[in-house]
Amino acid sequence: MNATRQKSKIITRSVEVEGYPIHYRVIGEDMTQEAIILVHGLSGSTLWWTHNIFALAQNYRVYLIDLPGFGTMRRLTRQFTLANATTWVLAWMKAVGIERAHLVGHSMGGYICMHLAATYPERVMRMILVSPAVQPQFHSILGYMRPLLLSTRYVRPTFLPLLLFDALRAGPRLLLRVTHDLILLDLNEELSTICQPTLLVWGEHDIVVPLTTGIQLRQTLPNAQLLILQKAGHVSMFDRPLVFNQAALAFLQGDLVGS
């Protein structure tokens, strides 16, 4: 266990959001520090940020939430659709007392972060988007899971059981519904309005949301940088955590990262 992990402590807390108890975790109790909210992707959970949270918590107060229907919130499947995800995250922020925060989102979580930034810009400081699913290439659960499984050759051996565990917790019904939502929803009109500094992070071998989408997004967003991680797939923050963490911290401090 390294010094950073020894100094950091994960605290589990609960708040009521829209009439339901919501559990979340936070690392760091210094309320003077800027907040970072980590938003996972489809079939994911807060566990997918395992290799990133302690590095980010060196300088920030880090919040981890499982979206309703996923991870520890799997029993709230009826309460979550992608269309209301933004208002749900905002309601959670208000309940916790977070006025503004940096957002870090992966895949579907990146979509949610971007929609939040476009709709409530005063709430968002900077964004780090890991292969955000703004133009997904999949059209079914199989179309999502198959390339994700294929891309596991670039990740640590511990990721595959984690992927299967979280997919089983979410269940096929929710995954089918949210996959359908991702196919139908479109952010193209809002993209040009997102003015927050944004770091796009893409694995060079991402076959779920390919790198060409990241290149196009870099050209569309007014204030974006693109960082391509070598030997990484769709879950590049898990594939290359040391490089990702260093880049994330540098970007949050205002440094130029990527191109």
pLDDT digits (tens, 9 = 90+) for 70-114: 998 887 756 678 888 999 999 999 999 999 999 999 999 999 999
Res 3 pLDDT > 50:
no
DSSP β-ladder status, 61-65 and 20-27: antiparallel
Is residue 120 within 8 A of residue 197, CB to CB? The reply is: no
- Give the model's pLDDT for residue 196: 97
Q: Locate 198 and state its tokens.
A: 């944004």
Q: Residue 199, Cα to own-chain centre: how many angstroms?
A: 12
Model pLDDT for residues 192-243, shown as the tens digit of each residue: 899 999 999 999 999 888 899 999 999 999 999 999 999 999 999 999 999 9
Assign 120 a pLDDT band (cuts: 50, 70, 90).
very high
Give 95 or 137, the one with higher predicted confidence.
95
Return left, alpha or beta for 25; rule: phi > 0 is left, psi -120 to 50 is alpha, else beta. beta
Assign 146 a pLDDT band (cuts: 50, 70, 90).
confident
Cβ of 25: how many Cβ atoms within 10 Å?
17
Distance CA 41, CA 74 (A): 14
**Which residues have C-beta within 8 Å of that of residue 241, sequence separation ≥ 6?**
51, 52, 55
- Give the model's pLDDT for residue 75: 79
- Give the model's pLDDT for residue 188: 79
Assign 136 a pLDDT band (cuts: 50, 70, 90).
low
Q: What is the pTM of this model?
A: 0.91
Local structure of 227: helix, strand or coil: strand
Model pLDDT for residues 17-43, shown as the tens digit of each residue: 988 889 999 998 777 799 999 999 988
Assign 247 a pLDDT band (cuts: 50, 70, 90).
very high
Q: Which of 195, 242, 196 is nearest to 101 (CA)?
A: 196
Res 183 pLDDT > 80:
no
In sequence order, what DSSP letters do the residues of 74-143 get, joined into one string? Answer: GGGGGG--GGGHHHHHHHHHHHHT-SSEEEEEETHHHHHHHHHHHH-GGGEEEEEEES--SS----SHHH
- Give the model's pLDDT for residue 5: 47
Instruction: Give the position of tokens 């005063």.
Output: 122
Distance CA 238, CA 241 (A): 5
